[in-house]
Structure 1
Amino acid sequence: MQTTSRNILLDILKIIAALFVIGTHCGFLFEYSETASQIVTNGIFRIAVPFFFCVNGFFLFNVFKNDRIQTWAKRVGILYLVWMLIYTYFWVYLIDFNLFKIISTFVFGFNHLWYLAALIPGGLVLYQLRNASNKVLIVSAFVLFLIGIVIQYVGQFHVFEQQPTLDKLINYPPLHRNFLLFALPLLCIGYVIRRANFHTKLNKQFVIKLLIISLTILVAENLITYYFITGEAILNTYLSYLFLAPALLIAAFTFKITSNLNSKVLSSYSIAIYLVHPFIIFLIYNTLTLSPTATTFVTIILSVIASYVLIQLNKKLKYIL
């Protein structure tokens, strides 16, 4: 256990982000207000995964510096395979066997595991680009992310409606929510922040303004697209992610919450909650009848309990988290 006090704000934000993912998947607040649910669940809460990618990019700097890319890739790769195996029941369609669908699911990841499926190649590509200038990485990040957004809108507007096969392909989420057009841009930003030590150069007042402005942009973008562009469609990618995710990362180092709590344990809880929560949701939906908001809170409680069990198991098995 750690005996010295340290800043655990980043660990706390990672746990909160994992809880945001639960809220998104459970439809938090939906039964009370469609607008509130749109702003919170389909807007603010969806910053969680972009934030995770940004954090990973930040820590990949040390991975590259210490030449541990193979160790990192192996660890994330095993984690992905283990959890794809755990969720086999949900993605291997034994009754209606479809080899193409099974292969595509394995490559792009089942449900929430797309995050790990995109993280591995995204991190490997960033490793190849590690010596590029900060300017090149940031410009590339924005260009790639914008390409993903354009593909997303082309699909939402059904530009190729007269060509059903192409229209279906364009609307396939992994076409724009993947390692190249989603993970890599955010990894690049997190990496540049660490390499330039940007997280140590901003004062608290500026960071607060940055958080407020980027959060406002996200909410505005979310509502504009919902009410004036896409209607009921839920988007996977918002341009504002490129501002709010790094703002949260920088805030984690600008502000401090000191504690003697073990950082590794806290980090393990954020990972475990993220990985196990869909299974908890499945159990709830098949055993209880709850509102979306109630489902959110019950899932959080049960996921935390399940995460404790996983953390204990991981001490012996080593490959669960």
Structure 2
Amino acid sequence: MRENGLDVAKFLGCIGIMIVHVGNFSELPSPFGDFIRVASRWALPFFFLCSGYLSGISHEFDVGKKINKLVSILFYASILYIPIMYRMLHGDFTSLLNKIISGDTLHGGTSFHLWFINALILGVVLTNYMLKNVSAKKSFFIAIGIIIACWASDVVKSLGYEIWVFYALRTMISFSLFYIGYIMAKGNLIHKISNKVAMFIFLFGVLLMVLEVYFLHAYAGADMHERQLPIMSVPVAIALLIIGVNSNIKEGIASRIGRDYSLGVYLIHPFLIYIAIHDVGSTIANNSSLKLILCFILSVSILWVLKNFIPVFYKKLNGIGVR
């Protein structure tokens, strides 16, 4: 049976990801733009959790098939961004070729946001290893330790220190969240927490996310704009997963978008944001709210056209048919 509530949660996650990427919301009074971005930082952890949960409820954790699918998605999404790379390099074909075959591209694809797919591959591999070789208790403590270390390094980075270990931990957190989502599914833990409790955690957690970042900025001079993992972003993401799974709602526009287009929106929206910034004039380029609305509508519209009229492209972007 289709979990429409979870699909709606994916829809909200898509919007959360785009809020982080569209800009600084400079059209809003300071510091509300930063507050909006910080309050959306649960979105990326949610998608890691959701991937683990969906693997946990499946009949078989087919690691090979899942990795093959992710590799295919990363490959075709990277091809999509080659024209953007070419333009950013001012038409220098040699530089473009060097960039395509560089270690950065192997690690995270041809666009900044594709690191998520590579991280998810690592999350699948490490979860499979932990399930077969490490006790559940030890695996859980390792997962929590990675989350805390990632949060701490994010705080240190926001204080102006160059701490590159944050990016390694940000990749490794994919294991922590995928694993937590997986064991929550296998242990049927989600249904043991009511939606009222989960909603309280979600709303209060978002408030704490904003307060954490604001007070670190006010009293220690931390950069609010660059904060990526407030400590409560993980509990908030878990709460949204619980609400999504436990909510019995009818199919609607939001659930259909979350079901059919959430991955695609994640993959193509930076392409549209780039065009919005460079090619459509300052009215939209300098207004994050307008970019958010227009790029979201365009992303869904493009994916709808691909799904219904050019399905081969839609399938490639979503890894459909990969074995």
RMSD: 2.7
Q: Which runs of 5+ in 1 are unaligned?
A: 160-166
Equivalent residue number for residue 162 of structure 1? none
Q: Secondary structure at the match of 2:28?
A: coil
Paired with 1:196 and 1:190, the residues of 2 have a C-alpha distance of: 10
Paired with 1:172 and 1:134, the residues of 2 have a C-alpha distance of: 26
Equivalent residue number for residue 320 of structure 1? 317
Paired with 2:55 and 2:61, the residues of 1 have a C-alpha distance of: 10
2:155 to 139, 153, 156: 153
Q: CA deviation at 1:75?
A: 0.7
Q: CA deviation at 1:173?
A: 5.8
Q: CA deviation at 1:143?
A: 0.4
**Superimposed CA distance per residue, residues 118-157 of structure 1 (whole angstroms, 9 cap, x where no aligned partner):** 0011111101112445433332121011222333334344
**Superimposed CA distance per residue, residues 38-76 of structure 1 (whole angstroms, 9 cap, x where no aligned partner):** 1112x122211110000011112245x514211111011
Paired with 2:309 and 2:121, the residues of 1 have a C-alpha distance of: 24
Equivalent residue number for residue 190 of structure 1? 181
8 Å CA contact 2:53, 2:185 repeated in 1: yes
8 Å CA contact 2:3, 2:248 repeated in 1: yes
Q: CA deviation at 1:192?
A: 1.7
Whether 1:50 and 2:9 are equivalent positions in the alignment is no
Amino acid at match of 1:296: L
Taking a change above 3 Å as real, the CA distance of residues 268 and 274 of structure 1, as seen in their structure-2 partners, is same
Q: CA deviation at 1:80?
A: 0.6
**Superimposed CA distance per residue, residues 165-192 of structure 1 (whole angstroms, 9 cap, x where no aligned partner):** xx4xx247633321x1x21111121112
Equivalent residue number for residue 282 of structure 1? 274
Equivalent residue number for residue 164 of structure 1? none
8 Å CA contact 2:208, 2:232 repeated in 1: yes
Aligned length: 304
Q: Secondary structure at the match of 2:42?
A: helix
Q: Which runs of 5+ in 2 are unaligned?
A: 319-323
Whether 1:104 and 2:104 are equivalent positions in the alignment is yes
Amino acid at match of 1:149: W
8 Å CA contact 1:152, 1:176 repeated in 2: no
2:239 to 247, 253, 256: 247
8 Å CA contact 1:21, 1:48 repeated in 2: yes
8 Å CA contact 2:55, 2:61 repeated in 1: no
Paired with 1:271 and 1:227, the residues of 2 have a C-alpha distance of: 36
1:135 to 131, 134, 137: 137
Paired with 1:27 and 1:177, the residues of 2 have a C-alpha distance of: 21
Whether 1:311 and 2:304 are equivalent positions in the alignment is no
